[in-house]
Chains A and B, each alone.
Chain A
Amino acid sequence: MGAKPHPQYKRSWKNLLLNKRYQLRFTLFMVGISAVLMAGLGVWVMKEANDATTVAKARVIGETCPKVPEVIEVPAMNEEAPVPMNIDEPAPADEPAAPKAGAKDAKKKEEPAPAPAPEEAEAPRQVKKDPQADFLTVKALWCTDAECKPEMAMPLIVKVKNCDEYVKKKLEDMMAVDALKSLSIPVIKCESGGEPYSVADAEPIHHATVQLEESSMTITPTLPTDFADRIVSHHTCEMRQASSIDSLEHGRLRILWVLAGTGLLLMAGLAVYGLKMTHKVAGPLFKVSLYFAKMRDGRLDKVYNLRKGDQLVDFYEHFKTAHAGVVQMERDDIERVKATIAAAEAAGMGDHPSIAELRTLLARKEKSVE
């Protein structure tokens, strides 16, 4: 009886999917429901994250950075000798108070003032022609109250509230227009859209024409003492803002990836768990199917217990009793046939063809219940 060792059944991943239709249906249903719910959760979370990121970005952009200091051309004038200006106004009243000197000065007035040395006169111009300085000037004049990035010979895109009004007002400013011309900026556009404004067509408001006569004036560019610090702090602030915006965008993307990853992990985990769970049902069914095949072929072997953790224990117990019932039927037949053969042999009819048939039947039945 115990000659044949019972084949050891091992749980293997290959055997996990025993009843595809049943297992996949249940597992996919579970995974599908979770996917729908997780997608809803994900969409909502991303909507909130996008809103939060937008608000945070606006807050960062709203923080004002220190302005880039302007390069101011300060006329270096002789305090003692104020420059008389020919603006149809009478000469200062105190002028005659120094007749001697005044006479001398009057003579000097008639003579044209000596032209300044070329080097001295050109010095401020050279600063003006410096592209970097021009760039800074445009930034100072156009991009302190608005957002813009001037580039040589490129349209200036301006982003500011009431952009059209801002641009029109600026175009009335001679210095602002000149600054644009120095960088060869042809047009100004509002980022929000609308018609571009041509720099060439700009008509800045001209203030009272000042004619300088008989005076010498040296225009010297002067820089504030903390010019470099202010430039550095301005750009540091801009870089910090850009970094903050970048970080916020990264945070938003991180949420998206974490959500997607969590969702995928949940789906994969559920799929594996679903397969394992249904396998505990499909496993016993598979085992019972193997016994069915044996019973169909007339082999009524011993029925072994289920593995630990398997489901359908009650069902399997029913099967075992059914199997035992069929075995009992065979044994009853064996007993009856044996008794008949023995009686026939005792009556001297052992060679009867019917007894031979009964012997064949008996052999088959005995073999089936071995």
Chain B
Amino acid sequence: MSDGNIPSATVVQGGKLDGDVPKRGDDTGKQPVYKRRLSNYMLDKRLQLRYILLVTILSGMISGSLGYLIYQQRHAASESIERDLAALTQDDQNLKDFQEQVAASMAAEDRALVYKMIGVGIGLVVILSLYLLIMTHKVAGPLYKISSYFDRMREGRLGSVSALRRGDMLQDFFGNFREMHEAVRTRMQSDVITMESAAVALRAKAGDSGSLAEALDALDKHLVQRKKQLL
């Protein structure tokens, strides 16, 4: 069936080739180079932020209550020590400085504990958020890529489809998409060949004049356009 003008459907491996992240309406032929950037990690804000916020808030609440309990316990222990010290020294004026020193030291230690816990909490939230950002990016990335192919399909462009990157999720879904894309492309290519061969046969019999010739010219034009779309 193939006459050599229509390229066969190919699957490009590696994920960095033509049309990986095409710009809408980019007809210049220049291929945009896709790079992993931190700014690219937030591809689907709604999807990613929802999950990140849920896990982060939940973890923050649990670790916050843990931290509060620890602080409360520590503070109660400090107060108890201060009371006992006061009882031991019987509020002796000579030992007042010592008592104040001990109280200040305890308060400083309590504060240090709070700062430490806040630091650990912030660290936990930051690490969790970054990890979740990367994790959700592995879902949002393939969706973004497929969306780009959808945009091309909307314009009638059925080029080749490159594979997902290693580590990306939704591989099965992407497989379904690629299968569909290749099937549509192959069918269109086959249709082009059928129409082209019919046009050639009809032109040979009808010549270059009359309404049939005009219709065949229009068909040729349509086929040229279609071939371009299938490249």
Q: Are A318 and B215 in contact (CB under 8 A)?
A: no
Instruction: Say whether A318 contacts B147, CB under 8 Å.
Output: yes
| CB–CB A332/B222 < 8 A | yes
B113 within 8 A of A: no
- Listed residue (A40, A281, A285, A322) with the most chain B CB atoms within 10 angstroms of its CB: A322
Residue of A48, A295, A319, A340 near B216 (CB, 8 A) is A340
Specify which chain B residues have a CB less than 8 angstroms from the CB of A347 in the assembled complex.
206, 210-212
Q: Is A160 an interface residue (CB 8 A)?
A: no
Residue contact B198 to A26, C-beta cutoff 8 Å? no
- Which residues in A have their C-beta under 8 angstroms from that of B46? 311, 314
- B202-A349 in contact (CB<8A): yes
Stretch at the interface among B29-37, B93-101, B181-189: B181-189
Q: Which of B139, B155, B194 contacts A358 (CB 8 A)?
A: B194
**A343 lies within 8 A of B199 (CB):** no
Q: Determine if A237 is an interface residue (Cβ-Cβ < 8 Å).
A: no
Q: Is the CB of B150 within 8 A of A319?
A: yes
Question: When the two chains form their complex, are residues A336 and B219 in contact, meaning their CB atoms are under 8 A apart?
Answer: yes
Contact B47 A311 (CB under 8 A): yes
Bound: A321/B211 CA distance, A: 35
| B172 at the A interface (CB under 8 A) | yes
Q: How far, in whole Å, are A358 and B54 apart by their CA atoms in the complex?
A: 57
Q: Known contacts A289-B176, A336-B222: does B153 contact A41 (CB below 8 Å)?
A: no
Chain A residues, Cβ within 8 Å of B58: 30, 33-34, 270
Q: Which of A26, A321, A332, A353 contacts B51 (CB 8 A)?
A: A26
Beta-carbon contact of B179 and A321 below 8 Å:
no
User: Are the C-beta atoms of A357 and B180 separated by less than 8 Å?
Assistant: no
Q: Which of chain B's residues have a CB closer than 8 A to the CB of A352?
A: 201-202, 205
Q: Given A33-B59, A285-B173, A324-B154, does the pair A361, B212 have CB atoms closer than 8 Å?
A: no
Tell me how many residues of B have a C-beta within 8 Å of chain A.
63
Q: Does B170 contact A (CB under 8 A)?
A: yes
B184 neighbours in A (Cβ, 8 Å): 295-296, 326
Q: Does A298 contact B (CB under 8 A)?
A: yes
A22, A26, A40, A318 — most chain B CB neighbours (10 Å): A318
A354 touches B65 (CB 8 A): no
Contact B206 A44 (CB under 8 A): no
Q: Which of B9-17, B66-74, B83-91, B104-112 contacts A (4 or more CB under 8 A)?
A: B66-74
B171 CB to nearest A CB, Å: 8
Find chain B residues with CB under 8 A from A315 CB. Answer: 44, 143, 146-147
Tell me which residues from 322 to 355 in chain A have a Cβ below 8 Å from any Cβ of chain B.
Answer: 322-326, 328-329, 332-333, 336-337, 339-340, 342-344, 346-347, 349, 352-355
The 3 closest A-B pairs by CB, nearest first: A343-B215, A322-B150, A322-B153
Question: Known pairs A311-B47, A347-B211, A357-B197. 8 more at Cβ < 8 A?
Answer: A19-B173, A33-B58, A293-B176, A312-B47, A314-B46, A326-B156, A349-B212, A354-B197
Binding site for B on A (CB under 8 A): 19, 21-22, 25-26, 29-30, 33-34, 37-38, 40-41, 44-45, 48, 270, 277, 281, 285, 288-289, 292-293, 295-298, 311-312, 314-315, 318-319, 321-326, 328-329, 332-333, 336-337, 339-340, 342-344, 346-347, 349, 352-355, 357-358, 361, 365
